[in-house]
Amino acid sequence: MTAVVVAVAALALLALAWLRLRYLVVTVEGDSMLPTYQPGERVLVRRARPTRVRTGQVVVLARMADEGETRWIIKRLAAVPGDPIPREQIPALRDAPGTQVPAGRLVVVGDNPAQSFDSRVSGYLRADRLLGVVLRKLAPR
């Protein structure tokens, strides 16, 4: 009986560790994704590789803060590697070479252009900064 309890506990811990590696909760800060996401809302994020995302998805990416700490930003994918460069919508990419978004780069925008620092200003973001895809809002605490 004790062996069964230990085995069940071990399986539960393994399942919890797997879930923690696969999913996480991020709190929205700022107004860049209004009206879709409000400041203070929490969202469930599934970790994803850059090759597993597609245009239109809302994603979470790492941004280095002034102090060197990592901060998370939430943006909508406007283009992924291989997509045509969205020159008309993204002023910072109007003179970008080529016709397609290069490998290792993403084009992201906030839903609230007036309050979003995104690819419209900075151009491409590095795909290796991708944390994952927003799956849904979570109920308030």
Query: Cβ(112)–Cβ(31) under 8 Å?
Result: yes
Closest-CA residue to 21 (of 44, 43, 46, 57):
46
Give CA separation, 35 vs 29, 64, 129, in Å.
13, 25, 24
- What residue ranges define each of the domains in the chain, with the CATH number in brackets? 23-137 (2.10.109.10)
pLDDT over 70, % of the chain:
84
pLDDT (0 to 100) of residue 137: 96
pLDDT band at 140 (very low <50, low <70, confident <90, very high): confident
Rounded to whole angstroms, the Cα distance separating 61 from 126 reads 9
Which tens digits make up the pLDDT trace of 63-114?
766 666 778 899 999 999 999 999 999 999 999 999 999 999 999 999 999 9
pTM of the full predicted structure? Answer: 0.84
Rounded Cα distance, 72 and 63, in Å: 6
Cβ atoms 101, 17 nearer than 8 A: no
